[in-house]
Structure 1
Amino acid sequence: MVWQFCIMAVSQRTVLAFKSYQNQAGVLVKNYLLADPFIPYTSVLAGVLAFKLVYDLTQLISTFNFRSYNALTKTQRIDWNNRGVSTLHAIFTSIVSLYFVFWSDLFSDHDFAGLIILRSSPLSTFALGISVGYFISDLGMICWLYPSLGGVEYIVHHSLSGIALAYSMFTGEGQLYTFMVLISEVTTPEINMRWYLDMAGLKRSNAYLINGVAIFVAWLVARILLFVYIFYHVYLHHDQVMQMHAVGFLLVLCVPVVLAVMNLMWFGKIIKGLMKTLAKRQ
């Protein structure tokens, strides 16, 4: 009886101690890590740490589950792991961006909570910080192994994206247009899958052909037509855009234009690649 009483007492103390630590952790997260002044810094750090975690998990899972992975060179394995991170980031940021642009009331024209280009929230700022952390990490990898993971165009793309994201995150300006541009990340998983299929020796498979068609459709919608919509939206709200800080104004105008030109160049290569693949099938 005494023995059972002691066990119950110890169990209750353990539960109380756990709840106490849980409450303290909750207070720490609420008052410091997710407090408005600290969100940009904690979110960027979370993005960098997530990059490292997913990179290591991709390496671990691929080593034991994909025979083609072990046959790759060191640089190709790094690229393989890196694409695993970019795929997960693309899925995350695409879902978040679609939510804020099309479903959230934060940037709704029917909401009279001030200018659209000046609206932000702790959640939207945190989401942008995650992407900033990713772009910093990925840009570091590209520069470290240059040009194995990408040429100058990738450095330009990541640098412009990172600068625009960071500005929008810290100032709260133009977050709507930042999320609109981030929707284009929906094409990244298809691009990475094409590379994976190539490395696995499945370049002549039906999956490779289907993937090529998926890239064409996704790119047309998310990186061509979407940018037309962005420019049209900027035109409709030019009176608000003109009220932004000079830096934000230039970023809203210049970054989408540069990215749109790069998207058109890449789209031309996608069309040529798809036509070449289809020609081989005939």
Structure 2
Amino acid sequence: MMQGFKSSVMTIKSYKYQAEALVRDYLLADPFVPYTSVMSGIFMCKVVYDLTKLVSSFYFKGYDSLMKIQRMEWNNRGMSSAHAIFITIMSFYLLFFSDLFSDRLEGPVTFRSSNISTFSLGVSVGYFITDLAMIFWLFPSLGGMEYVVHHMLSTIAIVYAMLSGEGQLYTYMVLITETTTPEINLRWFLDTAGMKRSVAYLVNGIVMFITWLVARILLFVYLFHHIYLHYDQVLQMHIFGYVLTFLVPFVLFVMNTFWFGKILKGLKKTLSKRR
């Protein structure tokens, strides 16, 4: 029995070493990172889409009674929530817990990157490609032209940062805005499930308002301030990266401010109905 236990432990360790070697030699190897990361992002979307469909069909009785387009949007929102959680965690780690973009290090902060930061951007590229494909396929059911503009600008900026290694700091600052996505999706889930008058719907609305204000309004103000303080380093970027550094955050900030007005109006309407 002990011999069998030792054999199982050795087998597990063997698989662990093989997995580590696969990640080190292929997934995070410099020449392959952009390709493996994008494919990993697309694969993640497919897996999460199917898992959302399976779990929802099993645990949510009303799922099978939804129209086909509603079920597809339901699964799509599960996929976008998974990406949002992943990229939010990676953004917080790289910006606040690692030294990659620290001012303590020498050299322009606008040119710093690592295999992990590049890989994470590639996963996001895979997600945005998948989501854009679904938006075009089902247009305009999953979103109108504002979503197309948002996704295309995001994809261009992330691809450039991933391939060139320039401006990854600002790319991750913008990607933190994905922290609002799970709240947006939960609001849609609750509405579709007929729980618009529930306490959960109200609490989610308040949380969504706060996270949107912090992540999509105040953080952008800080981003523009950071660009101002490090403008001499931004000037050293390639002209295309220089333009993206200003254009993408500005356009997204305008869109975020417009959507924030709608969120504020919706929250006021929900609160007034409860009084």
Do the structures match in fold with TM over 0.5? Answer: yes
Is the contact made by 1:39 and 1:126 (CA closer than 8 Å) also made in structure 2? yes
Give per-residue Cα distances to partners, 1:169-191, cap 9 Å, x unaligned.
01100000000001111100110
- Take 2:56 and 2:257, find their aligned partners in 1: how far apart are those partners? 33
Tell me which residue corresponds to 2:39: 45
Structure 2 gaps of 5+ residues are: none
Q: Give the counterpart of 2:100 among 102, 106, 111.
A: 106
Tell me which residue corresponds to 1:179: 172
Corresponding residue SS for 1:100 = helix
Tell me which residue corresponds to 2:157: 164
Tell me which residue corresponds to 1:153: 146
Structure 1 gaps of 5+ residues are: 1-8
Residue 97, structure 1, aligned to residue 73, structure 2: no
Tell me which residue corresponds to 2:183: 190
Q: CA deviation at 1:11?
A: 11
CA radius of gyration, larger in: 1
- Take 1:67 and 1:17, find their aligned partners in 2: how far apart are those partners? 41
Residue 203, structure 1, aligned to residue 203, structure 2: no
| Pair 67,23 (structure 1): closer, same or farther in 2 beyond 3 Å | closer
Tell me which residue corresponds to 1:33: 27
Tell me which residue corresponds to 1:77: 71
- Take 1:198 and 1:159, find their aligned partners in 2: how far apart are those partners? 28
| 1:1-282 alignment runs, 5 A limit | 26-112=20-106, 114-282=107-275
User: What's the TM-score, normalizing by structure 1?
Assistant: 0.91
User: What's the TM-score, normalizing by structure 2?
Assistant: 0.94
The RMSD of aligned alpha carbons is: 2.2
Is the contact made by 1:117 and 1:176 (CA closer than 8 Å) also made in structure 2? yes
- Take 2:6 and 2:185, find their aligned partners in 1: how far apart are those partners? 51
- Take 2:203 and 2:18, find their aligned partners in 1: how far apart are those partners? 51
| Pair 272,13 (structure 1): closer, same or farther in 2 beyond 3 Å | closer
Q: CA deviation at 1:25?
A: 5.9
Identity %: 62
Is the contact made by 2:28 and 2:116 (CA closer than 8 Å) also made in structure 1? no
| Pair 191,10 (structure 1): closer, same or farther in 2 beyond 3 Å | closer
Partner amino acid for 1:278? Answer: L
Tell me which residue corresponds to 1:5: none
| Pair 20,217 (structure 1): closer, same or farther in 2 beyond 3 Å | closer
Give per-residue Cα distances to partners, 1:171-229, cap 9 Å, x unaligned.
10000000000111110011000000001101111111111111111110000000000
- Take 1:33 and 1:189, find their aligned partners in 2: how far apart are those partners? 27
Report runs of 4+ in structure 1 exceeding 2 Å deviation.
Answer: 9-34
- Take 2:136 and 2:144, find their aligned partners in 1: how far apart are those partners? 9
Is the contact made by 1:68 and 1:199 (CA closer than 8 Å) also made in structure 2? no
Q: CA deviation at 1:278?
A: 1.1
Q: CA deviation at 1:102?
A: 1.7
